[in-house]
Amino acid sequence: MNIEKIADGYQTLVLEGCDGVGKSTLAERLSTYHGFTVVHSPRTPDHLDLASRYRTLLAEPGRILFDRCFLSELVYGPLHRGRSRITWSQAIDLAESVIARSGLLVHLTAPPAVVHQRLLARDGEAIGVEEVSALITAYDRVFATLAEYTDVLTLDTTTIELPSAG
């Protein structure tokens, strides 16, 4: 699948998936060749309102590509803190805002062993394959729920060509 041809038709792209799946690599390429402004979303401090932060970002003009966003809170929050700081209602509202902005939700995935190896190669260390598997399963659940409300494109990054970032 050629994600770059898909990118031509959208003003907003949301790339989501667990660490090591290829979000930043793909974001860099799409930014370079398609003029997206990349918004990399690190962990938002607990005292900040996540939904408001993303509503503000989605109100900005131009082509925007999210390299991780509000959806990751639905995965990492419950797994790491026992709860999400964003509700499903807020997530669905934000997803609808992405779509209203001529956007697409892109679920990037890969087999747990592949993600584990990528993390090792990138960082010199990695979480265990079991934890990677739990993250991938959680993302699968999040995107299955969102697919009931909007279109979701799921891509296995082992089947698309991802050039090295950097």
CB count in 10 Å sphere of residue 160: 14
Q: What is the pLDDT of residue 164?
A: 47
116 vs 136: CA distance, rounded Å: 11
For residue 92, what are its two tokens? 């669905």
pLDDT digits (tens, 9 = 90+) for 5-19: 778 889 999 999 999
Instruction: Look at residues 141, 142, 136 and name the one whose alpha carbon lies nearest to residue 156.
Output: 136
Domain range annotation of the chain: 3-42+49-156
**pLDDT of amino acid 161:** 63
Q: At what angle do helices 70-81 and 50-58 cross, to 10 degrees?
A: 160
Torsion of CA 63, 16, 151, 103, to 10 degrees: -10
Q: Mean pLDDT of residues grouped by 10 in the chain (166 residues)?
A: 74 95 91 91 75 92 94 92 93 94 95 95 92 96 93 88 49
Q: Specify whether domain 3-42+49-156 bears CATH 3.40.50.300.
A: yes
Element (H, E) at 8: none
Question: What is the per-residue pLDDT across 102-120, written as a single tens digit (0 to 9) for each?
Answer: 999 999 999 999 999 999 9
For residue 117, the tally of other CB atoms under 10 A from its CB is 16
pTM: 0.90
Contact 133, 35 (CB under 8 A): no
Read off the amino acid at residue 95: A
Dihedral sign (CA 129, 131, 133, 135): negative
- Residue 165: what pLDDT? 44
DSSP code of residue 19 = T
Residue 107: predicted pLDDT? 96
| Token pair for 82 | 């026992």
